[in-house]
Chains A and B, each alone.
Chain A
Amino acid sequence: MLACEFQVTVDCEQLLARLDRMAKHVPRREPASDAHAFAVRRRHTLEALREPDGGYRFRESGHESEVHADPRSAAEAIFRRMLDLSLAVLPEFIKIHAGCASRDGVRLLAIGPTRAGKSTLMTRLLYEGFAVHCDDVVLLRGEEVFPYPRRFSIRPPTVGLIPQLAPFAASLDSDEGSGDIAFDPSDLGFEWSVAPGPVDAVFFLQPDTEGSTRLETCPKYAMAARVMAQSNLPIGGPGPWASDICTMLDRADCYVLYWRDLETSVAAVKDALLRCRRFDARIARR
Chain B
Amino acid sequence: MTPVDWNSCPRAATGLEINVVADGCVVYDPSLDRVHYLNHTAVVLLELCTGQVKASDLPELLQAAYNLPDAPVTEVAGCLEKLLDEGLLH
Which residues in A have some Cβ–Cβ distance to B below 8 Å?
219-222, 224-225, 228, 238, 241-243, 245-246, 249-250
Contacts and interface: CB of A to CB of B under 8 A. Distances in A.
9 contacts: A220-B22, A220-B24, A221-B25, A221-B26, A221-B37, A221-B38, A224-B37, A242-B28, A250-B20
A222 B22 CA distance: 11
Interface residues of B, number: 17
B38 to A, nearest CB: 6
A221 B37 CA distance: 6
B39 interface: yes
B18 to A, nearest CB: 9
B30 interface: yes
Given A221-B25, A221-B26, A225-B26, 15 more contacts: A219-B24, A219-B39, A220-B23, A220-B24, A221-B24, A221-B37, A238-B30, A238-B33, A242-B19, A243-B17, A243-B19, A245-B26, A246-B26, A250-B20, A250-B22
Interface of B: 17, 19-28, 30, 33, 35, 37-39
Give the interface SS of chain A, mostly helix, strand, loop or mixed: helix
B26 A224 contact: yes
Nearest to A222: B37
Contacts of A219: 23-24, 39
A246 B21 contact: yes
